[in-house]
Amino acid sequence: MEKKIQRRLTKQRRIILEELRKTKSHPTADTLFKLVRRRLPRIGFGTVYRNLNLLREEGEILELTCGKYSCRYDGNMEPHYHFFCLRCKRVLDLGIPILKGLDAQVGEKIKGEVKYHRIDFYGYCRECSGR
């Protein structure tokens, strides 16, 4: 998505990336910190947070902003949409096709070029909507 910046992949950064890519839950920095501490007991929260920012800058992960709620992180860099539950704060990947023609439409409208787009959906998941 963004221009990739290449930095040395430290052991800490590699483990943070591995843990993030293993989960589909889109964890917060705090949740990911707790997961990483199982493998690196002496790592600090600041180190995890700094490395998340570096991985985002490098284009290795996505940072999902959830309005007034904590940011979430996603290790899946394939284009996909997300659903944010307004009640339980879960973030779900949506297995629906990306609207490829949308980029061209917007590019035409602005007389420019669209590299990618993100569309997020908000509402109540199955458990929270009572269905």
CATH of the domain at 100: 3.30.1490.190
Interhelix angle 45-57/29-37, nearest 10 degrees: 110
The more confident residue out of 34 and 67 is 34
Q: Do 35 and 49 lie in a common domain?
A: yes
Q: Which amino acid is at 32?
A: L
Q: What is the DSSP letter of 124?
A: -
**Is the pLDDT assigned to residue 128 strictly greater than 90?**
yes
Q: How many CB atoms lie within 10 A of CB 109?
A: 9
Same domain, 70 and 87: no
pLDDT reading at 9 higher than 60: yes
At residue 131 the predicted structure's pLDDT band, cuts being 50, 70 and 90, is: low
**3 state DSSP class of 65:** strand
Same domain, 70 and 101: no
71, 53 contact by CB (below 8 A): no
Total structural domains within the chain: 2
Rounded to two decimals, the pTM is: 0.83
Is 44 found in the same domain as 87? no
